[in-house]
Structure 1
Amino acid sequence: MLVSTKWLSDYVNIEGIAPEDLAERITRSGIEVDSIIDRSHGMTNVVVGYVKECVKHPEADKLRICQVDVGEEVTQIICGAPNVAEGQKVIVARPGAVLPGNFKIKKAKLRGEESNGMICSLQELAIEGKLVPKAYAEGIYVLPETAVPGENALPLLGLDDQVLEFDLTPNRSDALSILGVAYEVGAILSQGIELPKISYTESAEKAEDVLKLRVDAIEENPMYVAKVVKNVKIAESPLWLQNRLMAAGVRPHNNVVDITNYVLMEYGQPLHAFDYDRLETGEIAVRLAEEGEKITTLDETERTLKSHNLVITNGHEPVAVAGVMGGLNSEVHDGTTTVVIESAYFAPASVRQTSKEIGLRSDASTRFEKGVDPNRVIAAAERAAQLMAEIAGGEVLAGSVIVDELDKTPARITVSPDYINNRLGMKISLEEMLSILDRLQIPTEAVNGKLVIDAPTRRQDLRIEEDIIEEIARMYGYDHIPMTLPIAESKPGGLTSYQAKRRTVRAFLEGAGLYQALTYSLTSKEHAQQYALETAPVTELLMPMSEDRSTLRQSIIPHLLETATYNVARRIDSVALYETGSVFLGEEEDGLPQEVEHVAAVITGKWVDHAWQAETKPVDFFVLKGIVEGIMDSLGLSEGLSFEQAVINGMHPGRTANILYNGEQIGLIGQIHPTEQKKRDLKNTYVMEMNLQKILSIETDELVYVPVPRFPSISRDIALVVDSGTSAGTLETVIRSAGGKLLKDVKLFDLYEGANVEEGKKSVAFSLTYTDPERTLTDEEVVKAHDKVLKALTEQAGALLRG
């Protein structure tokens, strides 16, 4: 909501209060002012000019040489606007002026002719193009004949104004009008407000003699008021009216339409103007639409209606969608002479449903949806009639045609001062509460120590005791509410074991060079179970945003691959990402899907890239395997970790493994299948996903630090010839099992296949480290332990010691 302070000052005295101070006080009372817009943008030296002569530029077809009277002199200005002409009053930026955007005006020569300034369009004065009247959208703005050459043009255009931009909460629909804001500001400043004075001369002819009204849907339209104005002259609105509409973010059209928009912004009551002659029948009938009935609205779009949509008709065909937008077939146009003013109360739910179903939201529907003031319906119609008489020269027919079955009884709220103070933790006196409610112009009586309140119908948000508490608290001042600390047993906060372990995992991954990603929990049904460690019936949304976001995921990997593709497409060739998040498996007893926390990672591109040292290393399976081992080691779970070759759909058949802990699967790791990589425009890409919830729930012994051994260790290297299908992990498991307590470390350091090794075999070399923290080992002890290892390798893995 945009509120012009100049317009606001017509109804409440804000003289002497800086816009910044006013905005601060309004914000502190509960309505946030997002920004203050200075419509002048600091412009100076912008004046009214009179074009005395306008001729074509001899060297340019699209330029005109204008002799312009700017008050103190007649000066020459070159103008390229297509609508500039002799006899016009125009806006002139003199040399030295600075227009919005730091555009400085200087004397210049254009194609050999001198130009002393610029004739301006409204857009060049920082008025949005969508707010400029269509007649001047492609050229300069022409001022009325009454403008005086040489006078400051900014006040004439209403640009000497400050506009407050309100960020309204849904309950404060009363502030969707200038009068509503005036009530609020008057309460803040402890001032009364001055409502518009409505008076005009009625003609002898009665409205009910020329217009018949019938409402067949009283529930959806309990009140309808129609007034008839004859002999209107369609023209441009006066400049003051156009200025106010543009300041409020509304585009001027013509005087009749502008008046309805003006009253909408002033009273918060939507109006509509019908061309009486285009109605043809002299009748207005309000009814529910027929199923599939069509209407072309003012935006020139054909709308198909449903049987519960409310329409205004001429007794036969729809001429407006009630509360949303008028029809093109009854639009006021240049030839209109008789106007029917519609002011009505439409049920909020009905307007909301219709607006949503036909995909059309307007200023009118926004206000009807939130509920308009029933007691302003007639007043707004009378105000519009007054303005049409004054501005459009119309003759207002006597009386109005009304259907009124609307209950306008104000909501009664009874609340005790003690109840209010107990809820606020304050001691506000009864007199202060009455004063606050009086400033808000909320009728209140003190009866038997209680406040009996008749909430004004303009305040649709006042319904229960807590609403009154809020009004008193915000006007008394939230800053005055005392600060107190709760009195209770306190317990220092801290992380649970699970939370601390999760942080350890994240810290390790980030330390390893991976960036954290946050992706959607929703995916397509096709990808919901792709790469899933465990599958269950999928959970689909009833009303998804799109088919691509219709199903809850059961694996994080597809989302990380999408993110990798997105980055690679933007020339980020090396990507390393991880995510900890939930996957959704089946249903629990309450009918909701079971959430299980997983951790997943994706890496592609280069792992090492030192250009200066000419050292590069692409990512591979073992980089990601090392990261998994590091995670488990940081959690104290490295001893039970193992990997087992696996075949998984969508993964490379020879570079994929299940991740096991104590023989139970906890994850998967491997390269994406080349076909899948090509489909996603990725090079070699490796992924990992583990059941983080299961891992972090494993009980581990408390970490115990031991001193660095003082005694030397002894290393033995062995090279083994085994079948090509025997994995190094299997051999390592055998070595550790047979090595006993003296074997402290096993490292694989060589793999060889080729000359001097039998076909179908391979040579695998390990380095074994033996040590005892309490003493120095003898050769005999090491040989004895080492022989046990060799024997176990021969018997259990069929390995031969390579000579």
Structure 2
Amino acid sequence: MRVSYKWLQEFVEIDITPQELADRLTLAGVTVEGVTELGVGISNVITGRIESISPHPNADKLVVTSVDTGGEKRQIITAATNVREGDVIPVAVEGARLASGLVIKKAKLRGVESRGMMCSGQELGIDPKTMVAEQANGIMILPPGTPLGKDAKEILGLDDHILELDLTPNRGDCLSMIGVAREVAALLGRPLRLPQPSFKELPESIEGQARVDIEDTDLCRRFCARLVKNVKVGPSPLWMQQRLRNAGIRPISNIVDVTNYVMLELGQPMHAFDYNLLKDGHIIVRRGRAGEKMLSLDGNERVLTPDMLAITDPSGPVGIAGVMGGLATEVTAKTVSVLLESAFFNPISIRKTSKALGLRSEASQRFEKGIDIGGSARAANRAAQLITEMEAGDVVSGIIDVCPEPLQEKIISLRPGRATYILGVEVPKEEAAGILTGLQFKVRESGADLLVTVPTHRVDVNLEIDLIEEIARMHGYDRVPGTLPYGQSIQGKQTREQSLTAGIRNSLAGDGLYEVMTYSFTHPRVLEQMNLPADSPFREMVKLQNPLSEEHSVMRTMMLPGLLETLARNFSRRVQNGAVFEIGRVFYPREEGSLPEERQVLAATAMGRTVPGWNAPARELDFYHLKGVLENLFDYLRTEPVNFQPELENPSFHPGRSAWLEAGGIRLGVVGELHPDVLEQFGLPDRVVAFELDLEQLLKVSGRPFVYTTLPRFPAVERDIAVLIKQGTPAAQVVEAIRRAGGELLRSVFLFDVYRGGQVPQGYQSMAFSLRFYAEDRTLTDTEVAERTAAIANALAQGFGAELRA
């Protein structure tokens, strides 16, 4: 919101500088982002009238003009094509300085003397977007009655300061000059001068000539209309144009400018219909119908939906409520009668309509934040007054005011003691009442409390705490003393899940993996790259309604594609070794109208080799490396025993080189070497390993309590056995069989060698295990150990057809 300092002074007496006012408003919660001085650096620019125009004797594109600057005639050469004899223009005389810093001097152009320069709006620092089209890049033409020889800065309203407000969404009342003036009057303790509409009306009544029906009262709670006849469409007065321009609005015509002026002054958006183009003078406020179309004022065809509120006549839509009017009833130079609209529309409906159509206007911005429902009739009368004063039309007697439900007063009880408790500083009852009265609230006493009637323009005040906030900001936040917090305190700490997740990060980082973060948004084609079949549950993805791009149009159901893209990006830049991991969320759709299901996942990928050290050679980052990383992680988390089972059905992984993980009867995820087809799709080297685990399930089987045992008092006995066993037999199954057969005396089993070679029959392999036995109450004899070893050999023979090697 751009607030004119000079315009503000019409409503309240201000005796402080614009910058001081900006500081006071900011401290009161109405943030002023900056103060701009208009016309800064401009001097010696006055108004003049072109008396004559004649061709330049030595140049085809130049003309020689005689300009009257208030009793003094000046010869000025110009190339402008939009000037005519009799036009009043701003003239930079000798010694003048323009907004760009250019200094004007007497000069000769092609041998003819020129004593000054005609100015465009840009040369005076005026935004060309606020100029009429033919003057945006040409000489600025002033209204015919403009006095001559006057300072152009004063005439054009450039002797002013503009306060740029950065309002919070709840302060829609300050999107108007009157709204800001209320704040200033309360801050300075000065009376507020409000415009009081008063004008002469025609004897004839509006009754029978116009009609308003509201069909959807939930979206339109009030609609006021006034009829103006004998309309003379033309330019608005210069003072009105300059105020509109200073607010960033381009003047169009007197009728349209009045509606914009009232919106800036009172905060009530308005619209003017060409009355003769409205069928039967009948306005119907209703929802749009499916497929209904309308040409808006910008010339674009708009398709309405039942979610949008339309302004129609019996023949169809003539406007989109609160957003933009229709081209069919536009006010033009041929207009002789207008119907003025001043209404209250549902803020949520306007916001949704504006977003759906991609149209955001000054009017929609105000409706979205909430306007003063009690000011609709006042705004219509103010517009009628301005039209009458400009002699641009005659106002028909009476006003249409359709309000389906009577306006209800909001009365809130305020406890001064509660205000003191909340603010931490005592604000006497009388001061609190004075502050609220200064803000145009009505206050009356009710015992020790105050009963406060909230004005209709303060739609943001609904509770006692809102009144306390008003008292705080007007009393002064800087006057509230600083105090230490008090009350019951709670020690902050991490939850079990947060603590374990932090430990997972430390464990993986300690094993040489780098943590990365990838987008939660992705593209459906990544599922093709992962080699997933058409019926894979991972293909059920949450689609975004308004994606940033096609590349990020759905929510991910797997973590691995993002990590593989990270590896591929590094590989293409010759970073060929590395391992990364990520802890993040995946998303699965639920029934319509419900939020998607979110699950936390841990995933990692690795390629290449480790970095060699002085005491260790480089090792390939293969399946066994990643399996070791996981086993370290499981030891840290103290999980239930985790079983690695062959994974033969996951199309993203290499069959025979991958495994699924299970612990405590819960499936945790998958680890293994990725399928060659997947690697080809991502442009990765021949061998990449990865795992993806359901983190929530992993945490369920984690955190087993520590169990401490005494150190053994008797020596242990160690035996090594080697067996011939069929290739492809899982080592985990063999170890489990050894543990069962070894009984309670077998304390540990360790596979230390697997051999395939010439001394082993075809289709078999040699597996060597280290066994450790001990008892807590005695030293074991050779006989006892031999019996256990024989039982183990017998179990392996029966279960796997294994033979002991000599």
What TM-score, normalized by structure 2, do the two folds share? 0.73
Amino acid at match of 1:286: I
TM-aligned CA distance change 1:624 to 1:135, over 3 Å: farther
Deviation at 1:440, TM superposition (A): 1.0
What CA distance in whole angstroms lies between the structure 1 residues aligned with 2:579 and 2:119?
55
- Deviation per residue, 1:775-795 (Å, 9 max, x gap): xxxxx9xx99xx999989996
Equivalent pair of 2:74/2:115 in contact (CA under 8 Å)? no
Q: Who is 2:380 aligned against?
A: 381
Amino acid at match of 1:556: M
TM-aligned CA distance change 1:573 to 1:394, over 3 Å: farther
TM-aligned CA distance change 1:530 to 1:459, over 3 Å: farther
**Residue 599 of structure 1, aligned match among 602, 616, 639:** 602
What CA distance in whole angstroms lies between the structure 2 residues aligned with 1:46 and 1:350?
51
SS in 1 for 2:25: helix
TM-aligned CA distance change 1:624 to 1:165, over 3 Å: farther
Please tell me the root mean square deviation across aligned C-alpha atoms, in Å: 6.1
Q: Who is 1:520 aligned against?
A: 520
TM alignment of 1:653-668, pairs within 5 A: 653-661=655-663, 665-668=667-670
Q: Who is 1:446 aligned against?
A: 445
**Residue 395 of structure 2, aligned match among 394, 397, 402:** 397
TM-aligned CA distance change 1:317 to 1:160, over 3 Å: same
What CA distance in whole angstroms lies between the structure 2 residues aligned with 1:575 and 1:74?
80
Pair 1:674-2:676 in alignment = yes
TM-aligned CA distance change 1:253 to 1:746, over 3 Å: farther
TM alignment of 1:669-748, pairs within 5 A: 669-680=671-682, 685-697=688-700, 698-700=702-704, 702=706, 725=728
What CA distance in whole angstroms lies between the structure 1 residues aligned with 2:156 and 2:575?
55
TM alignment of 1:564-579, pairs within 5 A: 577-579=580-582
Deviation at 1:269, TM superposition (A): 1.0
**Residue 209 of structure 2, aligned match among 189, 200, 211:** 211
What CA distance in whole angstroms lies between the structure 2 residues aligned with 1:99 and 1:705?
88
Equivalent pair of 1:538/1:586 in contact (CA under 8 Å)? no
**Residue 284 of structure 1, aligned match among 261, 282, 285:** 282
Amino acid at match of 1:413: I
- Deviation per residue, 1:634-684 (Å, 9 max, x gap): 4456x9456443121322224322235589643211243333444455556
TM-aligned CA distance change 1:74 to 1:543, over 3 Å: same
What CA distance in whole angstroms lies between the structure 2 residues aligned with 1:299 and 1:384?
23
TM-aligned CA distance change 1:226 to 1:674, over 3 Å: farther
Q: Who is 1:266 aligned against?
A: 265
Amino acid at match of 1:415: L
Deviation at 1:455, TM superposition (A): 1.9
What CA distance in whole angstroms lies between the structure 1 residues aligned with 2:500 and 2:309?
60
Amino acid at match of 1:263: V
Deviates more, 1:85-94 or 1:315-324: 85-94
Structure 2: runs of 5+ lacking an equivalent = 712-717, 775-781
Deviation at 1:432, TM superposition (A): 1.0
Amino acid at match of 1:285: I
TM alignment of 1:87-486, pairs within 5 A: 89=89, 131-137=130-136, 139-140=137-138, 142-144=140-142, 146=146, 156=156, 158=158, 161-170=161-170, 172-196=171-195, 198-200=197-199, 202=200, 204=202, 206=204, 208=206, 211-215=209-213, 217=215, 219=217, 220=220, 222-235=222-235, 237-279=236-278, 281=280, 283-288=281-286, 291-292=289-290, 293-305=292-304, 311-346=310-345, 360-391=359-390, 393-405=391-403, 407-408=406-407, 410-424=409-423, 426-479=425-478, 480=480, 483=483, 485-486=485-486
Amino acid at match of 1:434: A
Structure 1: runs of 5+ lacking an equivalent = 708-714, 773-779
Deviation at 1:322, TM superposition (A): 3.6
Amino acid at match of 1:165: L
Amino acid at match of 2:414: V
TM-aligned CA distance change 1:141 to 1:658, over 3 Å: farther
- Deviation per residue, 1:146-189 (Å, 9 max, x gap): 5978967698463853332323223x322221211211222223
Deviation at 1:688, TM superposition (A): 1.4
SS in 2 for 1:36: strand
Deviates more, 1:594-603 or 1:45-54: 45-54
Deviation at 1:76, TM superposition (A): 10
What CA distance in whole angstroms lies between the structure 2 residues aligned with 1:11 and 1:596?
59
Amino acid at match of 1:417: P
What CA distance in whole angstroms lies between the structure 1 residues aligned with 2:565 and 2:23?
46
- Work out the percentage of aligned pairs sharing the same amino acid: 31
Amino acid at match of 2:322: G
TM-aligned CA distance change 1:799 to 1:163, over 3 Å: farther
Deviates more, 1:643-652 or 1:346-355: 346-355
TM-aligned CA distance change 1:336 to 1:602, over 3 Å: farther
What CA distance in whole angstroms lies between the structure 2 residues aligned with 1:788 and 1:120?
111
Amino acid at match of 1:601: A
SS in 2 for 1:372: coil
**Residue 34 of structure 2, aligned match among 33, 36, 49:** 36
Deviates more, 1:244-253 or 1:553-562: 553-562
Equivalent pair of 2:443/2:452 in contact (CA under 8 Å)? yes
Deviation at 1:516, TM superposition (A): 3.2
Deviation at 1:300, TM superposition (A): 2.4
Amino acid at match of 2:400: I
What CA distance in whole angstroms lies between the structure 2 residues aligned with 1:660 and 1:339?
78
Amino acid at match of 1:414: S
Deviation at 1:37, TM superposition (A): 5.2
Equivalent pair of 2:588/2:597 in contact (CA under 8 Å)? yes
Q: Who is 1:580 aligned against?
A: 583
Pair 1:503-2:505 in alignment = no
SS in 2 for 1:427: coil
Amino acid at match of 2:651: N
Equivalent pair of 1:215/1:403 in contact (CA under 8 Å)? no
Q: Who is 1:710 aligned against?
A: none
**Residue 652 of structure 2, aligned match among 625, 639, 650:** 650
Equivalent pair of 1:538/1:551 in contact (CA under 8 Å)? no
- Deviation per residue, 1:350-388 (Å, 9 max, x gap): 656765776655433443455432442232223223333
TM-aligned CA distance change 1:155 to 1:208, over 3 Å: closer
TM alignment of 1:769-784, pairs within 5 A: none
Q: Who is 2:714 aligned against?
A: none
Deviates more, 1:690-699 or 1:126-135: 126-135
What CA distance in whole angstroms lies between the structure 1 residues aligned with 2:24 and 2:353?
38
Amino acid at match of 1:335: K
SS in 2 for 1:334: coil
What CA distance in whole angstroms lies between the structure 2 residues aligned with 1:705 and 1:521?
50
Q: Who is 1:711 aligned against?
A: none
TM alignment of 1:777-796, pairs within 5 A: none
Amino acid at match of 2:450: L
SS in 1 for 2:206: helix
Deviation at 1:459, TM superposition (A): 1.8
Q: Who is 2:779 aligned against?
A: none
What CA distance in whole angstroms lies between the structure 1 residues aligned with 2:521 and 2:558?
9
Deviation at 1:734, TM superposition (A): 9.0
